[in-house]
Amino acid sequence: MNNIEEQLWNYIDGTSSPEEQKAISMLIEQDDAYRQKYNELIALNAELAKMELDEPPMAFTYNVMETIRNEHAKTPLKAKIDQRIIKGIGLFFVLMISGIMIYALANVQWSAGLSGGSSLHFAMPHIAQYLTSPLMQGFLFFDVVLALYTFDTYLRKKNLTKTYTSVQSEGQQK
């Protein structure tokens, strides 16, 4: 599209500034090329306004939504579990248990008695100083949030399964 057509379309559509509209109207009155192009564009605009717009069939939206629903139904409901996460959780527990075992063995007092038997003494650490009220409240808060999240996930999965089975049953009825 050339510059003349762009200016005239902006003039016809009313998107040009008032100064540009005045300048273009002066050009239309004085210049034959602008006047001829303006008349062509006005005729084209009138023809376009007379045309009826094509409308999609009534079932178009339904068909599109049904196609999307069928594509969604093809996806598996279970996501693939990343093995790195499982290994990381396992490593965490192995390290924690190993640490507890090392700590327990380090605090055992090995001593042999005079009677020939051996006695084993284990000194329990005083952990009461670590279990303060704010720490316990934080721990319980975290547990409650985790329990609510797990319950919400369970309910969503149950609802998704119910929706998926109802979509399948509707598809089989057709």
How far apart, in whole angstroms, are the C-alpha atoms of residue 101 and residue 79? 36
Answer yes or no: do 153 and 132 share one domain.
Answer: yes
Is 63 among the domain residues?
Answer: no
Is 96 found in the same domain as 75? yes
Which of 76-92 are b and which e, b meaning 16 or more Cβ less than 10 Å from the residue's Cβ?
Answer: eeeeeeeeeeeeeeeee
- Statement: residue 113 has pLDDT above 60: no
* 7-51 pLDDT, tens digit each: 888 888 888 888 888 888 888 888 888 889 889 888 988 888 888
Query: Are 114 and 151 part of one and the same domain?
Result: no
* pLDDT tier, 174 (very low <50, low <70, confident <90, very high otherwise): low
Nearest in space to 107 (alpha carbons), one of 123, 128, 127: 123
Domain count, the chain: 3
Give the pLDDT mean for 98-109: 85
Residue 95 lies in a domain: yes
Q: Within a domain: residue 74?
A: yes
Domain of 137, in residue numbers: 127-174
Report if residue 55 sits inside a domain: no
CB-count exposure of residue 27 (10 Å: 0-12, 13-18, 19+): middle
